[in-house]
Structure 1
């Protein structure tokens, strides 16, 4: 548990990056906004930046083994939310750290934290867009590659991080899993505040039911210093959130007393990168189809030989 807490503390500094190299402050608007990140932070001007617009007609289908989520069904012993000045970031204590593997990932990745991006209203908010469609919110579950030992080391490597991206769409009803978090947000309206979350849901509760279909590409952190070290997994299916719950996020304040809204980076150029889509159970069905055809062919040949 202590080790996981240390990892979380490091992730706050590295993944959300409240300040970058040289102490430069970044924002989502004005002279320190996304249009200027590339001049403020060299890596933000790289060729493999995130987020992107996912064009579903131009993705390549891949037959990977199923995505495996270890300990995602186990509720954490503690869960807290922090207003880090840019987002609502959720951290957990758990006896055994959740992990993700399979699904085309090259290795096992250990959970660090998750956070959100949202809009001033529900016409916008997500960082990734799918065929140009922007959702009102996007959730990012950040993991680091276990073989690198620490998040600090993993963030230096091209395949160091794996982030699961989940879209949220507006529902007339509250999302039960988000209800305790939405309530806790009322206690972290000012920057650098944190609050315990009263009810701990397992991480699985924050994922869509269908995790078989997802988009995959190589990219970067979406906040400075924009390290190009992320293997992105963006699920096709969204989860729900109510307007009332969204409004609790929109009530949070940044360090300068302004509301934290529209905290998303615009889509970045793809620059000849390939975007893949997982084939839903198709690997198994394709294999079965081949086995079936082979069996049919062999049976037909046997019958033919018996009649000769």
Structure 2
């Protein structure tokens, strides 16, 4: 039996219908824009808000086991995409729920949904910035901690959610994994519309090839009500998207019949938080050190014998 993620998505944490916001209006510009979120929603003025600017010269190296992705290579049995008035959000059904653990995460997290943030042109769009550099798009894969049993319970915990952030950079060619989504976007130009997606690609297709290098910090949802419950992973490597594909996202309309563009929150103060970057595990480092010492010993012996 296929496992449906529709029920866990009913809270629509990343959508404007968020139950936590009580239906309060918000947007990215004007009187309900990002500059006013803190006064509209008290939690949006917290001390551990997201996104942030990641300063690579000011990160702490950590040694974690590589991510373990379970069911990430299995194509979904069904996929849907929705224009929620703020973003394009993708939901899916699968025979077995995709899960992620390790990579410094404390527990196993179950996939819920993914969505995008983009700009009006390719000079901006991502929520996180790296050394001040903003990418044209950022993809967020949202997971909730399995130990808490449900998304509803997980959002009450400080470590309830784990979000994988993936940057997208412009390529001259289309990204095949995004093509079915882009095709479906034509059917959801108006806010509140949804469409079926040709579910050919597994979740792994939306991640960069290299998962070993990433940044980690504790933060919040990047939309109201900005709950500070997210363990953030931002991968150092990007995936690609073409300008043609980006323009399909920019053609979506919000509740006011205006194009959905620049749907990103500006970087928030880091305050006293630490940002970490992954590195090779202690075991790998120890093994390399052992190999290095062995080579050094053998080289020294060879030189000694030559001089005898």
The two structures have a TM-score, normalised by structure 2, of 0.92
Secondary structure, in 3 states, of the residue corresponding to 2:201? coil
Corresponding residue of 2:9: 8
Secondary structure, in 3 states, of the residue corresponding to 2:181? helix
- 1:296, distance to aligned residue in structure 2 (A): 8.3
Secondary structure, in 3 states, of the residue corresponding to 1:286? helix
Aligned positions of 1:1-308 closer than 5 A:
1-10=2-11, 13-19=12-18, 21-279=21-279, 281-292=280-291
- 1:172, distance to aligned residue in structure 2 (A): 0.6
Higher helix share: 1
Secondary structure, in 3 states, of the residue corresponding to 1:23? coil
Corresponding residue of 1:302: none
The structure-2 alpha-carbon separation of the partners of 1:293 and 1:118, relative to structure 1 and needing over 3 Å to count, comes to closer
Q: CA contact under 8 A between 1:180 and 1:198: conserved in structure 2?
A: yes
- 1:256, distance to aligned residue in structure 2 (A): 1.1
The structure-2 alpha-carbon separation of the partners of 1:96 and 1:130, relative to structure 1 and needing over 3 Å to count, comes to same
**Partner deviation per Cα, 1:180-226 (whole Å, 9 max, x = no partner):** 11010000000110001124210000000001000000000000000
Corresponding residue of 1:305: none
The unaligned stretches of length 5 or more in structure 1 are: 300-308
The unaligned stretches of length 5 or more in structure 2 are: 299-308
Separation in 2 of the partners of 1:262 and 1:293?
50
Separation in 1 of the partners of 2:66 and 2:45?
34
Separation in 1 of the partners of 2:187 and 2:4?
27
**Partner deviation per Cα, 1:85-109 (whole Å, 9 max, x = no partner):** 1000000000100000000000000
Separation in 1 of the partners of 2:254 and 2:200?
26
Separation in 1 of the partners of 2:157 and 2:45?
18
- 1:7, distance to aligned residue in structure 2 (A): 1.6
**Partner deviation per Cα, 1:131-168 (whole Å, 9 max, x = no partner):** 00000000000000000000000001000000000000
